[in-house]
Structure 1
Amino acid sequence: MIFDIPLLNTGLDADIAHCIDNKTKPIGSLGKLELLAKQICQVQQTLTPQLKEPQMLVFAGDHGVVESGVSPFPQAVTQQMVMNFLQGGAAINVFCQQHGIEFRVVNAGINGELPEHVGLIDASISKGTQNFVKQAAMTDLQCQQALEKGSELVADRHKRGSNVIGFGEMGIGNTSSAAAIMAAVLNLDAQECTGVGTGLDKAGVERKAKLINKALKRAQLKKSTPMQVLAEFGGFEIAMMCGAMLKAAELRMLVLVDGFIASSAALLASKMHPAFLQYAIFCHRSKELGHKKMLKAMAVEALIDLDMRLGEGSGVAVAYPLVQSAVLFVNQMASFEDAGVSKDG
């Protein structure tokens, strides 16, 4: 797919800086909130930013690599957790409700049947990917279809009035996909990228890293494109997130990125369109091994670090009040002139 994601216009930058610096506070005293506010003003090209109809899309998909023993949980847990989402019992349900974020779960490719539900979007490409240790996780056509579907879903949210959207995921085995993507894109050994996932012990992590290295050797992607990496190692939920993120940036929406797996989709998106990162807000740094290095490779910083590694968009929802605070202080905090406060020492 071709996405038109322009570099942000810098014409308002001086006015944005003046607006933020002229609030009744020492310059820079709100720290990273000021940088966040500047980014939001730049994306929206305004001195009066707004957050409209915040959305959360959690993409769910199954992974064939689970058959190789990369997770302590069976593949069926993906479907079971999606049912938990639909029943309102997961952490992401609680946090989205707390902060007024509209939540939908997307079936990107679960190996099982799901009931019709108002909170479920059925966008299944296939009932799970192939085992990428043995072969490519998906075909080029499936990869393209997933990107397109993610793009379509975001376009629909935008038409409904949203200008801020968060992305999360669910899929047993998807930390293996994210680690493989990271290793392939950044040319790293899998041991530098592979963590405990849903709770592997030390021996399990070592086995997981060896399997990913075996897959990297099988694929032999020395001069690969992001699309090739995605098709070889990705999950349908990761591919769909990637397309969704790119479309959101094209539509000048704020893109709220969750942890390690969601960041692997953002990493690929940044390689497809470098301007994408200007629209992305990385909400938290996961405790999952590799995420810190992945963020550093993209030259971005996360808003919070709470040792979370749950996934399912939980970091986005927990960090969302900080995004709100950045917008509110720009719009509601008095300037020195308004408050009659002297700027001089």
Structure 2
Amino acid sequence: MRCKLCINSSENPSRTFDENGVCNVCREFKTNFSQAALDAELSFLKTLIRKDGSTDCLVALSGGKDSAAALYTVRKMGFHPKAFTFDAGYNVISDRQREKIKNVTQILKVPHAYIDARPYISEEDRESFRLTAEFYDSQIEHMDSETVLKMFRDERHCNRPKDKTIRPFVRPCRLCRRAVIRGYYAEAVRHHVSVVFLGINEWCGVHQNNYTAVRKLEPVPGKPVYIVHLPFLIHRKMEDLVPILRKIGWSEDDMDIHIGTGRSGCLLARIAESKATGLLGFNPDETRLAREVTVGFIHRAQALNAVSQQAEPPDTSMMDILISKNILPSFDK
């Protein structure tokens, strides 16, 4: 069974459903969402705009539609951004994406840099990457659904940047998130800014029953950095993207807005989707797309279409990918 409002599956052990077939995520969002909280966050963020015109924020730019539109919007808000693209090796940055990154930053007159994300991968992360590769390369075919579902449920508590848990991850995105958030903070401090904008439609503050768009990081006292999920902050919808993309030089051929899962941008996610979906009973990236339906960013039919597509795994093992991208040393093979 799937939620009547989003696409969350009853196979997911962290989801519960009421008598109307609505999942706990949709119910909690409807009950606790407050527009006033987002309005307050937006007002606060605007106080961080530097009147002298110096760089006052970073914007993550993948070359995709969401991050490109986010960069345009940040400029329209009055910020003076620097764009950056994290490269962890296993994420896919095509030549076409690089071309789009170059074009949009030139049109908006925004400086841009590619940044190696691998220095932000801790030793605990690397060991977890090794265990994850072993899980997908040789162990998962011997696993039963109940065991994999339990692993999936338990690992969602291990994705914070301070977490040092060493374990295999059914959804590698959760492991990658630890290093990426660590990197966001470090790069913000290095660039002497306190705001990092993302084109990801995500909410924060759920455990406080308060849905917000800003995550405050302050591992170093007195040096806070605010990670901003811009689409959620401004209630962006997918149809809002086309006029923005036209303004920043996207061709009409690029206007076919595609909704996809994590496999399109990450080799590890591609392997995970192809091997874990059957055992889980749902796509590992389904929870992200379900959230985007809940907030009104995309339509339910679009999300269902995305998760219905079959992922073709890369023609190599996860261990080989991690070794070739210098995430793991070759003697670990």
TM-score scaled to structure 1, two decimals?
0.27
Query: Higher relative contact order at CA 8 Å, sep ≥6: structure 1 or structure 2?
Result: 1
TM-score scaled to structure 2, two decimals?
0.27
